[in-house]
Amino acid sequence: MLRNVSRVPLVLEIPSKGILECEAIRHLSPITVSALLCQLPIKGRIHRLGGDVIYVETGLDLGKEKQRSTFRSGEVAYLPSNGSLCVFLKNKVVYSMNPVGLVRTNLFLAENAEPGDVMILRRS
């Protein structure tokens, strides 16, 4: 199987719910994606931002990079103001964030995640 250095396959696991396949896409925010990949696995408790976004704090302190404020369902972004990794459940206009990747499968599992559930991001 060919490996692509620009797209890194990842698994986002919510132990009480299941596994989502996702990928980090380096060209979206190269410095942010590299820092996140070096930090893996990232594990934390899920927080919700309304019904549109779930996020987990990463402990990383990174700056702004190729930011945008419009995200589509399934996109993953890093919020520099509090070091959180966000998964968009619906199309949303929000604070400026660094885009980092996409959820490829089972997004509905994230929609069913509740505050306090654990989320683990790791290499697949």
Q: Is pTM beyond 0.95 here?
A: no
> CA 91 to CA 80: how far, in whole Å?
20
Report if residue 3 sits inside a domain: no
* Averaged pLDDT of the chain: 93
Give residue 63's domain range: 10-123
CB atoms within 10 A of CB 60: 16
Report the residue count for the chain: 124
Report if residue 29 sits inside a domain: yes
pLDDT score for 3: 58
Helix, strand counts (H, E) of the chain: 2, 10
| 62-103 tens-digit pLDDT | 999 999 999 999 999 999 999 999 999 999 999 899 999 999
Q: Is 104 exposed, middle or buried (0-12, 13-18, 19+ CB in 10 A)?
A: middle
CATH number of the domain residue 38 falls in: 2.40.100.20
SS3 (DSSP) at 7:
strand
Report if residue 30 sits inside a domain: yes
Peptide bond into 41 cis (omega under 30): yes
Instruction: Give how many domains the chain has, as a whole number.
Output: 1
